[in-house]
Amino acid sequence: MKKSMKTQFLLLVAALAVGCGAPKELPNGGIWPDDSGVHVNAHGGGILKQGDTYYWYGQFMIEGELGNTAQVGVSCYSSKDLLNWKNEGIALAVSEDPGSDIAKGSIIERPKVIYNARTGKYVMWFHLELLGNGYKSARCGIAVSDTPTGPFTYLRSMRPNAGHYALNATPYHKRNDNYPPAQRFTGGVLPSPIDQGNMNIHGRDMAGGQMSRDMNLFVDTDGSAYLIHASEENSTLHISRLTDDYLDTDSLYVRLFPGRFHEAPAMFKRGGKYYMITSDCTGWAPNAARSMCADEILGEWRELGNPCVGEDADLTFHGQSTYVLQVGEGDAARYIFMADRWTPENAIDGRYLWLPISFEGERPVIRWQDTFCGLK
């Protein structure tokens, strides 16, 4: 049996061993069988709810380390109860043309889809690294579809906010030409926290656009949408407002926590306040999650600490944030923390942790649970 077929077969057998028929709960960190009994393949994912259906988009990963690169594309699953997932196939396929931005072997991570009521289009954004360029490209890819399951049409890639400084850029950032080129950061490992006096990455990238690696999308209650992305060599988070059609950034953006190095941002809104859960930057290896809160999305954000509590809380239960799903509205709203437990040596075998978020005052708190019980 070919190696990749073998892994698929083992994941299928494991899925069947978990139990046949409709699952009443899903084991956090275990096998999550789809409608054909195969482990769901939607890593670094996000959820879109349309009507009574939830759509789960994620990275379709294959076996081995190669699976960390985009060999297939972005997958889509649908469910009405968050437990029984129908495989809807590949929503965005990689291109066989090596010259394409989304060539097979490029890196496509953390795809997210939002629906634009003005245009009637489903809009997908993802972190894109061009073929053969490691993680240096740090671009956003954008694709659209008339239907939630696709196929999505790839539009373009870019670095956000080219030609514009952040709303909270300082005079120092705007003096990009006024300090010796030798002091400009040109790559390699950054010290943390960054010596802001020597490394004006924000100014460096103003003309060509700001770097964008780990990212997420958030649609506010007024329909405005935002890109949240790890920028400035991952040292600083940016929140960028999108244009009305959700196909671009509109140049209004802020820099958050300069030199603090956040990845994996996941935003949600509760009681009129904005929250984020993020991670530290340690590659595929788990680290302690972080949480933060703001009264205005482009305003002042304050850190609230590690939201995880209990055994392995300092490692986010061996996972990393990817999305926070709100279920229900107003006082009845509940929030589900979605995380990936990566297995970079065999990417296809990554697992999912979906854990409820509770609140102590304004602070989000996440405790381990063996199973995810869906909408209950």
**Which CB, 47 or 298, lies closer to ligand DGJ?**
47
Q: Which 8-state DSSP code applies to residue 345?
A: G
**Which CB, 134 or 180, lies closer to ligand DGJ?**
134
Other C-beta atoms closer than 10 Å to the C-beta of 83 total: 18
What's the rounded Cα separation, in Å, for the pair 375 and 364?
19
29 CB contacts (<8 Å, ≥6 apart)?
317, 318, 341, 351, 352, 353
Report the residue from 109, 232, 233, 280 that binds ligand DGJ according to the rule CB under 6 A: 109
Residues in contact with ligand DGJ, total (CB under 6 A)?
A: 9
Report the residue from 63, 88, 101, 214 that binds ligand DGJ according to the rule CB under 6 A: 214
H helix or E strand, kind and range, residue 201: helix 201-204
What's the rounded Cα separation, in Å, for the pair 224 and 114?
11
Answer for the pair 14, 39: CB distance below 8 angstroms, yes or no.
yes
What is the nearest approach in angstroms of ligand DGJ to the Cβ of residue 131?
16
What's the rounded Cα separation, in Å, for the pair 133 and 52?
41
Q: Which 8-state DSSP code applies to residue 66?
A: G
**Interface positions, 291-330, toward ligand DGJ (CB under 6 A):** 320
Closest by CA to 128, choosing from 92, 163, 164, 96, is 92
**Which CB, 29 or 37, lies closer to ligand DGJ?**
29
What is the nearest approach in angstroms of ligand DGJ to the Cβ of residue 126?
11
**Which CB, 41 or 320, lies closer to ligand DGJ?**
320
**Interface positions, 65-94, toward ligand DGJ (CB under 6 A):** none
What is the nearest approach in angstroms of ligand DGJ to the Cβ of residue 318?
14
Answer for the pair 272, 221: CB distance below 8 angstroms, yes or no.
no
Report the residue from 264, 304, 348, 357 that binds ligand DGJ according to the rule CB under 6 A: 264
Answer for the pair 157, 101: CB distance below 8 angstroms, yes or no.
yes
Distance in Å from the first CA to the final CA of the chain: 41
Residue 283 binds to ligand DGJ (criterion: CB under 6 A)? yes
**Which CB, 84 or 320, lies closer to ligand DGJ?**
320
Report the residue from 6, 284, 311, 373 that binds ligand DGJ according to the rule CB under 6 A: 284
**Interface positions, 43-62, toward ligand DGJ (CB under 6 A):** 44
What's the rounded Cα separation, in Å, for the pair 276 and 292?
5
Answer for the pair 62, 347: CB distance below 8 angstroms, yes or no.
yes
Residue 129 binds to ligand DGJ (criterion: CB under 6 A)? no
Position of minimal CB gap to ligand DGJ: 283
What is the nearest approach in angstroms of ligand DGJ to the Cβ of residue 42?
14
**Which CB, 15 or 124, lies closer to ligand DGJ?**
124
For 324, the 3-state DSSP assignment is strand
Residue 280 binds to ligand DGJ (criterion: CB under 6 A)? no
Q: Which residues bind ligand DGJ (CB under 6 A)?
A: 44, 109-110, 214, 263-264, 283-284, 320
